[in-house]
Chain A
Amino acid sequence: MTMKKRWLAASAAMGAAIALASVAVVGVLRRVPSESARLRELRALHESLQTQLESHLRSERLLEEDFDSGQLTVAIRTPYLGGIIREVSRRYLDRVQLDLAPDIRVRESGEVKTKMLGGSLTLGEWAIDLRIARLVGVLGADTPDLSVAEQNKVRVAMPVRLMSARGEGTLHFRWDSRGMANLACRDFEVEERLQATAFPDIYRVSGAFVLSEDRGLVIAKPEFPAEKYRVRLDLTPESWAKVEAAVRSQDTFDKCGMAIDPADVLPKLQKLASAGFDFKLPRSIFRSVEMPAQFRSRVEVQGTQVDVAVDPKVMRLTKEYLWYSASLKARIMGTSATPAPRARPRPRR
């Protein structure tokens, strides 16, 4: 190779090297473009807007609340929550059918005496035993009044109407002669089937729902004390007629019944029956209510099922809202700490 050719080859090689270096430089320049005017403008605008926003947010009362007690917070306005409890309770207790065996007993007894030889002689003792073995009725609740109380409680005062009730039972009438009267008077017993109706009444049922968290669910649990409510009864006219007939049938000389005055005994019985009996609302009529917003323990993220461990943090009921929060830890069930990459199913959109 001549000197000239060598020089040409070296020049060409150098030129190629420069060209290749240029490629690299241009490539790098492409990769790191100089900051554009638009970008600088946007940055300045962004900064200025951020300052403005912060001054606006400082006056937001809601943001003063602690939203950092958990990673997920659900708040429900108390009036809305009250509306749910009110409406659910009203609907639920709108028609409660009772078919109870209360074993109600009303008893009245007395002695029949007569004056004899300047003294008093007991002729005998009578007893009337009214027994209501079965009570079938319908209770209905009106819209309850609610108020927020301490310890995450919603106090409830609910008018409950005894809309209708009918009882079934027996009348047991007994005469027991005593002493000398045993010689002249006969003992006797009468039993009749009876029917009774309850007076329509309104009872004020008071209690509370306690809000608590249970496995991601917010539950309003009923807390109603076992109060007694008085149910007043009256026999049906037909049944009173049976009682009266029973008493009168014994009002004969040989049964010493002349001393038992039906006009005296029947009002006593009526008074006793209408005084009523104490009735406890069965606890089972109050049920827990699950609130509509709940934490979930499994979700789908980018087409993959992810299990979430819910760790409840705060629950607070105020006049303004019910507030509950939780921290959550996500993991895919059955995976090891360093899983192999998975091909994902095509996600749904």
Chain B
Amino acid sequence: MRRVHPVLLLVLALGAACQPVAQRRPPVEEVLLERRTQGIKGLIAAAREGRVVPFDEVLVVVHDDLVQDLVEATLPYEQTLADRYLVRAESASVTFDDGFALVQLRGRASLLQDRDTAAEIDVYGAIDIVELDPKTGVLRGRVKILAVETQRVDLAGIQAPVRRLVDDLSREQLSAFEPLMSNIEIPVRLEQAVSIPAVNQAGIRIQEAVLPMEAAVVDVKAFRGKLWVCVKAKTQTAAAAARP
């Protein structure tokens, strides 16, 4: 067996140690703090105008533990990402504070072709858009990925494939993790019409009355563990929706 020269070994080892750090995303804590400070600034600005919760017609208040409960109900689940990785989401945490609706998923990421090469993964997302589904009228939050953090499962050993996995995951575009978090429906629905059915019995005939309604989310705030969703709703005027 041919021996590797010890000096060469030394050079290789030092080379690995001095390898420049790959293009990495900013630290998760920094990203989250940036969002929190932005969120609080927005809340303070709204408070100065006396419109922290601009509730004029309909207000929906959602506790973060409800949304966490909803997400947890779907766990565990597995999702293939970028045709390379398999992520198993195992736990979730949702907090609505500081003007920021944070959804965090924790799980295990592995190579699709080698499940033993795995790392812990935390995916952080924000419910950035809250809207009413135009078809069903159900309130829906859309999650945008903000940050991803990966850690080796086994810190004691040095496993090159695991290290590569962690490095590769840390270099992936955030959009690659989007399939992990998408839409979360809130169990509230705003009807698009109020109606009373027709009557035709015992000598009484009344046509069905339908009052079309338009509703749209106009303001969303996250603080004190709740999401405050203000909905602007209006009924169509009598003239516009007169009976035929």
Contact = CB atoms under 8 A, between A and B. Distances in A.
Q: Does A pair with B?
A: yes
Interface of A: 8-9, 11-13, 15-16, 19-20, 22-24, 26-27, 30-31, 33, 36, 38-39, 42-43, 45-46, 49-50, 52-53, 56-57, 60, 62-63, 67-68, 71-77, 80, 83-84, 87-88, 90-101, 282, 284-285, 287, 289-304, 306, 308, 310, 328-332, 339, 341-344, 346-349
Contacts of A299: 70, 138, 185-187
B30 A16 contact: no
Nearest to B187: A296
B82 interface: no
A119 B243 CA distance: 71
B161 interface: no
B179 to A, nearest CB: 6
Contact of B189 (A76, A95, A294, A332): A294
Contact of A75 (B6, B18, B61, B62): B61
A12 B178 CA distance: 48
Given A19-B17, A344-B78, A329 B44 contact: no
A346 B33 CA distance: 31
19 contacts: A9-B6, A13-B6, A15-B7, A19-B13, A20-B13, A26-B18, A45-B37, A52-B40, A71-B63, A80-B57, A92-B209, A98-B204, A100-B203, A292-B58, A292-B190, A296-B189, A302-B181, A306-B73, A339-B76
B217 interface: no
A267 B52 CA distance: 72
Contacts of A38: 30
Contact of A302 (B17, B71, B190): B71
B207 interface: yes
Give the top 10 A-B pairs by smallest Cβ distance, nearest first: A12-B6, A19-B13, A347-B182, A56-B47, A299-B185, A92-B209, A71-B66, A42-B33, A49-B40, A330-B73
A87 B211 contact: yes
A97 B204 contact: yes
B53 to A, nearest CB: 5
Q: Chain B interface secondary structure, helix, strand, loop or mixed?
A: mixed
A342 B52 CA distance: 40
B183 A42 contact: no
Nearest to A76: B58
Contacts of B76: 339, 341-342
Nearest to B201: A284
Interface string B19-55: 0010000010110011011001101100110001101
B114 to A, nearest CB: 18
Contacts of B62: 71-72
Q: Give the interface residue-count category, chain B.
A: 35 or more
A254 B190 CA distance: 79
B202 interface: yes
Interface in B149-202: 151, 158, 163, 178-191, 194, 196-197, 199, 201-202
Chain A, interface SS category: mixed
A277 B125 CA distance: 71
B220 to A, nearest CB: 15
A304 B184 contact: no
Given A96-B204, A97-B205, A304 B74 contact: yes
Contacts of B158: 23-24, 27
A19 B180 CA distance: 39
A68 B226 CA distance: 10
Given A46-B40, A289-B196, 4 more contacts: A8-B6, A26-B18, A302-B74, A310-B187
Given A72-B62, A91-B209, A92-B209, A53 B204 contact: no
Contact of B74 (A12, A22, A67, A301): A301
A284 B201 CA distance: 8
B209 A293 contact: no
Nearest to B33: A42
B9 interface: yes
A22 B185 contact: no
Contact of A74 (B181, B188, B207): B188
A12 B194 contact: no
Given A46-B98, A60-B52, A72-B61, A16 B203 contact: no
A285 B74 contact: no
B200 to A, nearest CB: 9
Contacts of B138: 296, 299
B60 interface: yes
Contacts of B216: none
Contacts of A294: 188-189, 191
A348 to B, nearest CB: 7
